[in-house]
């Protein structure tokens, strides 16, 4: 069976790229289409036990007692765990160690786990969970942002910047009030982005296998095996050297498998107690409770524009509903204020943000992590301003683009910047200039842009080590094995490693062995999040491959007695560029090198460049490179039912350099799809009153786009290479989602002349806006007012053009003093 073709096999001496930039199959594609890929729940070990977890049925309560005796006595039950068995807290961020594997004293949302059972099969474990008796003393619960800020309810956590407020941020770069005073137009808007969830097709699963010689292996559908490794060592109080975490290929991640999870720790501990492998696979309802998805976010934005559309100053506030735990929330909060400055120059910028705790499943990072909400707000806001200024929304953006190789007001270093080319492409292809504002009632076009990081500039826990490492092993048969901690979640990370190494060594990517995501076998890569993998593992792989190439070239040059510069490698051959007849195979070159140097192994690593920002909070936002996207969406709105359908999306994405175009297009189309779902239907919502029961924790009722709702997508890859990317590559997995919701919402306005300042744009909201329009009221549906909150004085950071050096004006002053006003 040879289903995949080799890349072009013309032995040539030119410098053209042979693998990079070519649309090849992914290296794991055959395994996936034949059902051979082993996901976590596909693993079965001899003597394996099955785990179920008992979860809270009340949103906020103290645990008075837990009686597990009947469960322990139930036939087939081997072990039962409760919270006090795992007393050490953990959490993904060092500043938010607020989770326990099982709740000890109180529960904080419906679904919070309180006990776990290991039994001979899943049905028995399920039965045993029903025999556990938990007595709760209910507490008043906190339902949403407004509820959290009213200060009436008991504290969900004992820590935070204010009562039930996890984090408060206030930063100002330049004099925003002066900027607003200079403006021709001051536009002010209030918008809301409802929470939604990743809904990966694969339910989370984990398998722990502890041996009596005190060694533990955990297989898990995790995007971040390195962080799971650290959390296990902490909570189980085991030396990390005794723990091996293997991330199985993820059946979809989208950020939802990026936290260390309670069920991972629980099966590890149950295996330690029973001496047998223990597996758990969450059911779909439990996946909704794991969540870590998009934060519901209320946003207030006030911007000053000159008559030509340039921005004199911007003041942005975000209120995030964090749910019951910290998760990545501190970073999420900063991200809602970080990237407003990287598309259009903002002369002065002020950001205030806060994240509240509520009694709901915890929010965290979902595709775009904290940036789709503010991008939605900003792009709708600009659309409104363009109308008031009498400017074409595309022209207004094109006329005011951030310069490449510049530094923004908040000290983000921009490298390559292809947004202008992206806008021009979608404007031309969609017929924007002839059709915008001119389509019949019910049909509309909307335009929006976006930008995203290609990996975060700083790691999650402070250290000076590389963010990504690659080891390369060459054997005398010509085999090459790549070892890297990166995690394949469907985005093609294993393939990127193969393509980069194959390009440098002139070999066939499908003959390379890729070993990834195994903390015992592979050097650390921080994980598949923040769109970091192609850039960071790509650079690490590039360095390792170039070092291996150097060893081969020196060996061959010595043999041929020619200078090293004359030795080239391509198409599985090594040859003399001045004498193409002089060749040997790649394997022969490896034999020469191994004879000269001994066993051939090389390493490569990648650490992002240091960011110019030095103020507190400057750690969120910097990236080695920023991707850019522009979109035009064509929508149809049924004015009788209020239903919105997206017909076509034209999207251009500045990817720097596509390592594999067909895989990149797949990422763009998938991002459009997910943005479409968020814009039109997806929402994590809860029943009212104070019960906070999830409306619809099932795939049927949590509406996500099927084939019938998906739109046509016209994808254009814009290649503006970035010097920090491997071969110039930037990210593509997340950025293309960002412009989709605002483009659709702007399109709805073009279609029916009514504004829905809130996603998802449900038929009810459209009809409400249309009803107001019919009554000659403001044709708008959306949030009415922002909660009252006394913001602390902002940290003042002069922007680069005001003589700033990236530091706060008074570095010693810490943020604080924020509070709740009733």
Partner 1 sequence: MRHPYPVDRLGFMAPSSNAIEAGAYVSLELRVNGELQAVSVPVHKTLLEVLREDIGLTGTKHGCELGECGTCTVLVDGQPVLSCLALPAALEGRDVTTVEGLESADGLHPLQQTFVELGAAQCGYCTPGFVLTAKALLDDNPRPSRADIETALGGNLCRCTGYLKIYEAVELAAARMRGEPGEPTREMLYGAG
CB of 221 to partner 1, least distance (A): 10
Nearer to partner 1, 307 or 698 (CB): 698
Decide whether 12 or 22 has the Cβ nearer to partner 1.
22
CA distances 370 to 18, 365, 374, Å, are: 37, 7, 8
Per the CB < 8 A criterion, the answer to whether 451 and 419 are in contact is yes
| Closest separation in Å from C-beta 323 to partner 1 | 21
Residue with tokens 């909150």: 789
Residues between 708 and 727 that touch partner 1 (CB under 8 A): 708, 710, 713-717
Nearer to partner 1, 57 or 283 (CB): 283
764 binds partner 1 (CB under 8 A): no
**Which residue in the set 10, 239, 440, 700 belongs to the binding site for partner 1 (CB under 8 A)?**
700
Segments in 317-445 forming alpha helices (H):
329-338, 372-389, 393-398, 419-430, 432-435
**Contact region for partner 1 (CB under 8 A) — 7-15, 23-31, 378-386, 527-535?**
23-31
CB 719 within 8 A of CB 728: yes
* Residues 6+ positions from 434 with CB-CB distance below 8 Å: none
Q: What's the closest the beta carbon of residue 79 comes to partner 1, in angstroms?
A: 11
Residue of 251, 326, 735, 799 interacting with partner 1 (CB under 8 A): 251
In the complex, the smallest distance separating the C-beta of residue 545 from partner 1, rounded to whole angstroms, is: 24
Q: Mark residues 42-81: x for contact with partner 1 by CB under 8 A, - for none.
A: x-x--xxx------------------------xxxxx---
Residues 103-132 binding partner 1 (CB under 8 A) are 120-124, 127
CB of 284 to partner 1, least distance (A): 4
Select from 10, 15, 16, 35 the one that contacts partner 1 (CB under 8 A). 35
Taking the complex as a whole, the smallest distance from the CB of residue 624 to partner 1 amounts, in Å, to 24
Please report whether residue 239 would count as binding partner 1 according to CB under 8 A: no
The continuous run of DSSP H or E covering 468 comes out as strand 468-474
Residue whose CB is less far from partner 1, 98 or 731: 731
Smallest distance from the beta carbon of 669 to partner 1, in angstroms?
Answer: 4
| Calpha distance 693→111 (Å, rounded) | 10
The residue among 21 and 326 lying less far from partner 1, judged by its C-beta, is 21
817 scored as a contact of partner 1 (CB under 8 A): no
Q: Examine residue 465 and tell whether it contacts partner 1 (CB under 8 A).
A: no
Q: What angle do CA 797, 800, 802 make, to 5 degrees?
A: 80
Q: Minimal distance in Å, beta carbon 288 to partner 1?
A: 11
CA dist 64 and 66 (Å) reads 7
* Closer residue to partner 1 (CB): 239 or 700: 700
Beta strands in 11-158 (DSSP E): 49-55, 61-67, 77-82, 106-107, 113-119, 133-138
Q: Which of residues 264-323 bind partner 1 (CB under 8 A)?
A: 276, 283-284
Q: Is residue 240 within 8 Å of residue 233, measured between CB atoms?
A: yes
Segment 626 to 665, residues that bind partner 1, using CB under 8 A = 661-663, 665
Burial of 229 (0-12, 13-18, 19+ CB in 10 A): buried
- Does residue number 253 form part of the binding site for partner 1 (CB under 8 A)? yes
Q: Which of 106, 166, 198, 294 binds partner 1 (CB under 8 A)?
A: 198
Least Cα distance to 797 among 337, 457, 297, 181 occurs for 337
φ/ψ region of 118 (left if φ > 0, alpha if ψ in -120 to 50, else beta) reads beta
248/32 Cα distance (integer angstroms) = 13
Contact residues for 108 (Cβ-Cβ < 8 A; gap 6+): 56, 59, 60, 156, 157, 324, 325, 357, 359
Residue 246 sits in the site that holds partner 1 (CB under 8 A): no
Binding to partner 1 (CB under 8 A) within 368-427 occurs at: 425
């Amino acid at each position: 069976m040879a289903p995949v073709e080799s890349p072009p096999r013309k032995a040539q001496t030119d410098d053209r790229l042979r693998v990079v930039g070519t649309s090849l199959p992914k290296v794991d594609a055959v395994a996936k289409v034949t059902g051979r890929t082993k996901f976590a729940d596909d693993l079965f070990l001899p003597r394996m036990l099955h785990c179920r977890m008992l979860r809270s049925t009340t949103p906020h309560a103290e645990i008075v007692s837990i009686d597990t005796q009947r469960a322990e006595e139930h036939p087939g039950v081997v072990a039962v765990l409760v919270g006090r068995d795992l007393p050490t807290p953990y959490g993904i961020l060092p500043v938010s160690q607020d989770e326990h594997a099982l709740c000890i004293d109180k529960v904080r949302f419906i679904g919070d786990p309180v006990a776990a059972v290991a039994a001979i099969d899943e049905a028995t474990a399920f039965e045993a969970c029903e025999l556990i008796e938990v007595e709760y003393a209910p507490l008043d619960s906190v339902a949403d942002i407004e509820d959290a800020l009213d200060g009436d309810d008991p504290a969900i956590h004992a820590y935070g910047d204010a009562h039930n407020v996890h984090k408060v941020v206030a930063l100002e770069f330049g004099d925003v009030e002066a900027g607003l005073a200079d403006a021709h137009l001051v536009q002010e808007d209030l918008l809301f982005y409802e929470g939604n969830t990743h809904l990966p097709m694969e339910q989370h699963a984990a398998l722990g296998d502890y041996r009596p010689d005190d060694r533990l292996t955990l297989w898990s559908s995790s995007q971040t095996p390195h962080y799971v490794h650290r959390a296990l060592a902490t909570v189980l109080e085991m030396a990390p050297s005794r723990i091996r975490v293997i991330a199985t290929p993820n059946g979809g991640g989208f950020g939802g498998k990026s936290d260390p999870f309670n069920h991972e720790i629980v099966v590890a501990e149950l295996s330690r107690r029973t001496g047998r492998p223990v597996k758990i696979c969450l059911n779909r309802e439990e996946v909704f409770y794991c969540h870590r998805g998009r934060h519901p976010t209320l946003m207030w934005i006030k911007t000053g524009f000159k008559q030509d559309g340039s921005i004199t100053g911007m003041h942005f506030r975000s209120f995030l509903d964090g749910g019951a735990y910290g998760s990545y929330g501190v970073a999420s909060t900063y991200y809602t204020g970080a990237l407003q400055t990287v598309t259009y120059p903002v002369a002065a910028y002020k950001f205030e943000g806060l994240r509240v705790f509520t009694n709901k499943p915890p929010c965290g990072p979902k595709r775009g992590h904290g940036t789709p909400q503010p991008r939605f707000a900003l792009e709708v806001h600009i659309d409104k301003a363009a109308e008031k200024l009498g400017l074409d929304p595309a022209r207004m953006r094109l006329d005011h683009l951030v310069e490449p190789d510049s530094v923004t007001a908040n000290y983000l270093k921009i490298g390559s910047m292809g947004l202008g080319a992206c806008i021009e492409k979608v404007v031309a292809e969609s017929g924007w200039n002839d059709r915008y504002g001119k389509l019949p009632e019910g049909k509309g076009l909307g335009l929006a842009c976006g930008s995203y990081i290609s990996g975060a500039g700083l790691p999650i826990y402070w250290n000076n080590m590389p963010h990504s490492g690659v080891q390369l092993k060459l054997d005398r048969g010509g085999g090459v094995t790549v070892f890297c901690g990166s995690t394949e979640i469907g985005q093609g990370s294993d393939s990127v490693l193969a393509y980069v190494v194959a390009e440098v060594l002139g070999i066939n990517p499908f003959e390379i062995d890729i070993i990834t995501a195994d903390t015992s076998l592979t050097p650390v890569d921080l994980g598949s999040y923040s769109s970091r993998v192609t850039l960071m593992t790509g650079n690490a792989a590039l360095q390792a491959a170039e070092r291996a190439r150097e060893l081969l070239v020196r060996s061959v040059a010595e043999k041929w007695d020619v200078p090293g510069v004359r030795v080239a490698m391509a198409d599985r051959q090594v040859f003399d560029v001045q004498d193409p007849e002089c060749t040997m195979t790649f394997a022969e070159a490896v034999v020469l090198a191994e004879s000269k140097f001994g066993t051939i192994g090389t390493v490569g690593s990648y650490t992002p460049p240091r960011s110019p920002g030095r103020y507190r909070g400057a750690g969120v936002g910097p990236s080695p490179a920023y991707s850019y996207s522009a979109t035009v969406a064509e929508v149809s709105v049924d004015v009788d039912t209020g239903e919105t359908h997206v017909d076509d999306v034209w999207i251009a994405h500045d990817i720097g350099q596509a390592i594999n175009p067909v895989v990149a297009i797949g990422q763009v189309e998938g991002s459009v799809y997910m943005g479409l779902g968020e814009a039109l239907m997806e929402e994590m919502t809860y029943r009212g009153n104070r019960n906070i029961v999830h409306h619809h924790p099932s795939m049927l009722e949590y509406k996500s786009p099927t084939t019938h709702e998906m739109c046509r997508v016209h994808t254009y890859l814009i290649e503006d290479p970035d010097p920090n990317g491997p071969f110039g590559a930037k990210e593509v997995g997340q950025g293309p989602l960002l412009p989709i919701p605002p483009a659709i919402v702007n399109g709805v306005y073009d279609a029916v002349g009514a504004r829905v300042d809130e996603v998802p744009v449900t038929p009810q909201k459209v009809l409400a806006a249309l009803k107001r329009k019919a009554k000659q009221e403001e044709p708008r549906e959306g949030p009415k007012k922002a909660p009252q909150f006394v913001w602390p004085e902002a940290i003042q950071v002069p922007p680069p053009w005001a003589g700033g050096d990236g530091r706060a004006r008074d570095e010693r002053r810490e943020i604080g003093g924020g509070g709740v006003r009733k």
